[in-house]
Amino acid sequence: EDWTYEHTEEKAEVYVGKLKELQARESEITKRQAELLHVEDKVKALKAAIKKYKASTTAAIFDHIAKEKLQSIVEECDKQSVWVKEGEAAQKEKKKWEKPAMTVAELVVRTTALTTMASEILNEPRPKPPPTETKKAKKKDKEEEE
C-alpha cells in the first residue's frame, strides 16, 4: 500500500509489473496453503497402505508366494515408514510460511509405487493343484466309453 503512495508519478507499466510480482507471491502462498491442507490426508493414505501391505505379508492367504518376495514388500514398507517419520519430524520444525518438508505429489508417488509393487507380488496366482488320481481315472473312463 505504501508503495502506491510513494510512486504516484509512475507509468502504467510499472504498476502492471508490481501487480504481476504481487500475484506471483500470492500464487506461491496459495500453493503452500493447499499443500499444508492436503499433506495430512496423503500421509494418512500412505500410512494406511504401509499397514495394509505389511499385514498382508503375514496373511495365510498369501502363503504360496515366495518368502523373498514377501520380504521385499516388508522392506519397502519399512523404507516408506522411515521416510514418512523423517518428513513429519522435519515438517514440525518448519514454520507455516516455509516450503513444506513433504509435498502432496511426493506422497502420491510413493503411495502409488508401494501399491503397484505390492499388488504385483500379492496378485500372483496360486499354483494349480496337481491332478488327482480320481480325475485321471474319470478321464480314462470317459475316453473308454466313447
Q: What is the mean pLDDT of residues 98-113?
A: 89
d(CA 60, CA 83): 29
pLDDT (0 to 100) of residue 12: 80
pLDDT (0 to 100) of residue 112: 95
pLDDT over 80 (residue 131): no
State how far the alpha carbon of 3 is from the alpha carbons of 16, 41, 87, 112, 124, in Å. 13, 40, 39, 47, 66
Q: For the segment 69-89, what is each residue's pLDDT rounded down to a tens digit? A: 889 999 999 999 999 999 999
d(CA 10, CA 135): 94
pLDDT (0 to 100) of residue 132: 65
